[in-house]
Each structure stands twice: as C-alpha cells, then as structure tokens.
Amino acid sequence: MNFLLVSLGGATGAIFRYLLGLAVMKRFSSPPFPFAMLVVNILGSLGLGVFYGVYYGAIPLGSYGEPAFLFVGIGYFGAFTTFSTFSTESVQLVQKKAWKPLFCYISLSIIGSVMMFVLGFATMKEL
C-alpha cells in the first residue's frame, strides 16, 4: 500500500510539475536563467511547508508509514520539485560561462525555496 501511495502522489506531482513548467515557459520564453524550474521548486517548497503546517503543525519525524505523508510529502512534492533538474540547469549555465545568471539561479532557488517553506509552514501552523 505504501508503494501505491508514493507512486500515485509521485505521478500526480510529476504531471503538475510538467504542466506548470510548460505554462511558465510559455509566459516567459527567454528568461536569463531557468525560470520555470525556479518557480516550480519555490512553489513546491511553499506547498510542502503548508502541508506540514496544516496536517502536522510540526516538521514530521518518523512519519514514513503515514498515508498522507507518503502521498503528499514524499510522492507529490518529491516529484513536483526537482533537485536533479536544478543541478543540470546549473551545470549548463557553468558550461555557458553565464556566471551572473548562475549566481542568481542558485541563490534564488536555494534561499527562495527555504524561505517559502518556512513561510508556508509558519503561516499554516498558526491557523
């Protein structure tokens, strides 16, 4: 059952990541850095923070057996956000020697994702 929950959540998250990425790329066709993945990862971090705040009211430890965590936390948001694509796109910017876009992309991705997670979690925990 756990594999099914992770699989269904992952499939859903991957589809939504793909659709959001397409929408962002359509709206911003020539950004200076991989803007679509930045948006996806920041929104995914916000969403995971909101989920933790609403469902747990804390950062869960040892919740690998809970159905909601398996579906939403691991499956959906695990597939929605992507560190591997972030890494690939960062290396592509290095190969192009696009240092300023690289710095912006890495900084905004890491700091923005952490800040949005904290914002989502703190906001929902208080409700």
Annotated binding site for Na(+): 78, 81
Distance, CA of 9 to CA of 77 (rounded, Å): 8
Distance, CA of 62 to CA of 52 (rounded, Å): 13
CA dihedral (107, 92, 16, 70) positive or negative: negative
Nearest 5°: the CA angle 71, 73, 76 is 60
Annotated binding residues, as ranges?
78, 81
14, burial (CB in 10 Å: exposed 0-12, middle 13-18, buried 19+)? middle
What single-letter DSSP state applies at residue 64?
A: T
